Amino acid sequence: MTKNAIAAGILMPAALLFAAGPSGAPKEPLGLLPISWPKDNPYSAAKAELGKILYFDSRLSKDGTVSCATCHDPKFGFTDGQPVSSGIGGQKGGRSAPTVINRAWSLAQFWDGRAASLEAQAIGPMANPIEMGNTHEAIVTALRGIAGYKPLYAAAFGDGEITMDRTAKAIATFERTVLSGDSPYDRWKAGQANAMSPAAVRGYHVFQKAQCDACHEGHNFTSNMYSNLGVGINAEKPDLGRYDITKDPLDWGAFKTPTLRDVEHTAPYMHDGSLKTLEEVVDYYDKGGTPNKNLDPHIKPQHLRTDEKADLVAFLKALSGKGWQQIKAPAVFPQ
């Protein structure tokens, strides 16, 4: 457990990586901890605005058809609503697009944790032949050829030089502003007794009884750890998740635990998008996952009653908060 925590970056000394939240940064909604902004990429409104434009700009892809928002669309809770994502030329990836919501509180990114930061994650899909299919060099050249981008980079970084490092930092800055909090659960937790429905309150106690909080813990409802639930493990060539990165037998078939914030808006579920509804997810956990040689010991049959399952789903929906809904694609892009 400790080894994986270090690999995930969550036990790294924060003082070495982060600075205190700057003035002018977005205020975290009720229920969330303060964002720790990287020392080498502090917040500025100009940088976040540049990052937002880049995030939605499909000209970063090889054929001009795919942007970051293609797979992480606000309309679908910053996912794409599909079991697996599609890139240039309609190519299909192998995993479901995880949400960008509340990624500010996670160092390692992707289902397998292969990117150590949001900055590293931001540039990965750009050069992936199935996703955006471009090269970093070609992207920089293209951006330098769009006159309207130079003043935006100057406002964000002090001069108009356009580099991939700055591009990644801008996108990551924007992504750290995609937040969800002030949910019915948060208001209930803060003392508003009627903020959650009676069913959701009962579901909260089912959540604890079933030890869902062993992995979905803390203010963001994730341990940022990796677990083997057995999803897809019986396939002819199963996706081995974190193991393909670390080669550690303890990581065989393990995937990163996602946040449960706004989970009702990010269907379908699991790394392969194989479960369509929250009801299916609850049923899957209730049966104890899919047995295999590395099944997480927390995954055990729960034998929940039908009413308990319904209450648990009601609680999960009570984790839908505010913040990210206000984010819209730019009306125009730099020319």
Residues tagged active-site: 131
Q: Which of 152, 125, 121 is nearest to 139 (CA)?
A: 125
CA–CA dist 71, 67 (Å, integer): 8
Contact 155, 3 (CB under 8 A): no
Query: How many CB atoms within 10 Å of residue 303?
Result: 10
Query: How many CB atoms within 10 Å of residue 51?
Result: 26
**Sequence-distant (≥ 6) Cβ neighbours of residue 133 within 8 angstroms:** 61, 62, 63, 66, 87, 88, 89
Q: How would you label 190-200 residue by residue, b for 16+ Cβ within 10 Å and e otherwise?
A: eeeeebbbebb
Q: Is 137 helix (H, G, I), strand (E, B) or coil?
A: helix
Distances (CA, A) of 87 to 24, 81, 94, 219: 35, 14, 11, 33
Distances (CA, A) of 20 to 16, 23, 130, 155, 312: 12, 9, 38, 22, 36
CA–CA dist 270, 258 (Å, integer): 9
Q: Which of 203, 221, 219, 305 is nearest to 263 (CA)?
A: 221
CA–CA dist 136, 167 (Å, integer): 10
Distances (CA, A) of 81 to 102, 216, 238: 18, 22, 22
